[in-house]
Copies of this chain bind each other. A is one copy, B any other.
Amino acid sequence: MDKFFKLAVEEAIKGLSEGGIPVGSVLVHDQIVLGKGHNRRLQDGSVILHAEMDALENAGRLTENIYSECSLYTTLSPCVMCSGAILHYKIPRVIVGENKNFKGEEELLKSRGVRINVLQDPDCIKIMSDYIAANPKLWQEDIGIS
């Protein structure tokens, strides 16, 4: 497994261990991790700290020339909010753990030139499907349908 993707999965598991929704993300530039994060809805009562947003926030203020060379790893297909953040900062490449449990705005991202690589990682699929089965209401809230 790609070492950066492995870190994103570790973030998802960390979130789960905190009682949170298990999605993790890592922002990488030139083989260096700039930021890691995981969904913080339940831990912080946050409606904006999806994993990708948390990773971006933890990376801090960066310049366009850095963002434009970054890859964002995420265990789950990015929703429209996170896709918007990816587009805002012109991150050119997104590595997605899976889109079986939720398919976000991959087409919007692609239409604007973002390269997407969906791994369909069995561990990611299982972590998320187990969580959704056990916590359907919380999951629906997180994706804005409850």
Oligomer copy total: 2
- A85 contacts B by Cβ under 8 Å: yes
Q: List A17-35 residues whose CB lies under 8 Å from chain B.
A: none
A56 touches B64 (CB 8 A): no
* Per-position 1/0 for A54-66, Cβ under 8 A of B: 0011011111100
Cβ of A118 < 8 Å from any Cβ of B? no
- Interfacial residues, chain A to chain B (CB-CB below 8 A): 41, 45-48, 53, 56-57, 59-64, 67, 79-85, 87-90, 105, 141, 143-146
9 A-B residue pairings within 8 Å (CB atoms): A41-B61, A47-B60, A48-B57, A64-B144, A64-B145, A80-B87, A81-B87, A84-B84, A84-B85
